[in-house]
């Protein structure tokens, strides 16, 4: 029995290693755009998003543990703080300090994650599914970081950030912000939501530049690795 369990554990471990960035990619897709599968936005915001967040943390720790064989104390602490705040907000939703701590700690988590993902993109001398998945993860992380910045703006400045936007609940606001950040970073720019104050306008400008710059950099990395592979 123990032999079978050990075999299954090794198979599962190998699967997690081989598909670590694909799992991370799926986790961010669900966290950002998972609401498309739910009609009850209230249920999605309260319960499903916490599950999505747990999946994101699991995917990130799995990826960086397998790739680097260590997870820093800071990284683990940030994850723990964010999780505690998320669960605490189920019972103390009006406690604004918890909201600030949660959003700031999650932003720090995203910054560390994009740094580690960028380090991985630069290192390998081959093009494989892990590299392609990591490049898409990097793009989604730009959307995640942008959304976190605008959420913090909303907590600090209220409705004077973006308009028109649904402020009837935090989940509706989050969905609108993710939509706005996605169309801005991808340079679609429908113009149905507009930045109102100075911070929002400058951040929007930087997001557009970051989205285009990321595509240029990632294409350069891919071409470089492709040429390097051909030269071997």
- Each residue of 78-129: pLDDT tens digit? 888 888 887 787 777 666 777 888 888 899 999 989 988 888 888 766 777 8
For the chain, the three-class secondary structure string (H helix, E strand, C coil) is CHHHHHHHHHHHHHHHHHCHHHHHHHHHHHHHHHHHHCCCHHHHHHHHHHHHHHHHHHHHHHHHHHHHCCCCHHHHHHHHHHHHHHHHHCCCCCCHHHHHHHHHHHHHHHHHHHHHHHHHHHCCCCCCHHHHHHHHHHHHHHHHHHHHHHHHHHHHHHHHCEECCCCCCHHHHHHHHHHHHHHHHCCCCCCCCEECCHHHHHHHHHHHHHHHHHHHHHHHHHHHHHHHHHHC
pLDDT tens digits, one per residue of 151-181: 998 888 877 888 888 888 888 889 999 999 9
Residues 24-36 have a mean pLDDT of 93
pTM attached to this predicted model: 0.87
Q: Looking at residue 211, what is its pLDDT?
A: 92
């Amino acid at each position: 029995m123990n032999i079978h369990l050990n075999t299954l554990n090794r198979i599962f471990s190998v699967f997690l290693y081989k598909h670590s960035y694909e799992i991370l990619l799926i986790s961010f897709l669900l966290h950002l755009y998972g609401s498309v599968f739910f009609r009850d936005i209230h249920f999605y915001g309260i319960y499903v998003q916490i599950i999505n967040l747990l999946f994101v943390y699991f995917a990130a720790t799995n990826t960086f543990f397998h790739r680097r064989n260590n997870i820093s104390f800071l990284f683990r602490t940030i994850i723990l703080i964010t999780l505690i705040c998320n669960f605490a907000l189920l019972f103390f939703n009006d406690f604004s300090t918890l909201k600030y701590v949660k959003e700031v700690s999650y932003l720090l988590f995203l910054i560390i994650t994009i740094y580690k993902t960028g380090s991985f993109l630069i290192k390998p001398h081959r093009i494989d599914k892990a590299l392609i998945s990591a490049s898409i993860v990097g793009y989604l992380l730009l959307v995640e970081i942008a959304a976190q910045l605008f959420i913090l703006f909303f907590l600090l400045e209220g409705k004077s950030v973006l308009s028109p936007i649904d402020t009837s609940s935090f989940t509706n606001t989050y969905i609108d912000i993710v939509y706005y950040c996605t169309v801005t970073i991808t340079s679609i720019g429908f113009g149905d939501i507009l930045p109102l104050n100075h911070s929002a306008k400058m951040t929007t400008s930087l997001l557009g530049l970051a989205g285009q710059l990321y595509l240029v950099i990632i294409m350069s990395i891919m071409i470089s690795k492709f040429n390097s592979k051909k030269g071997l």
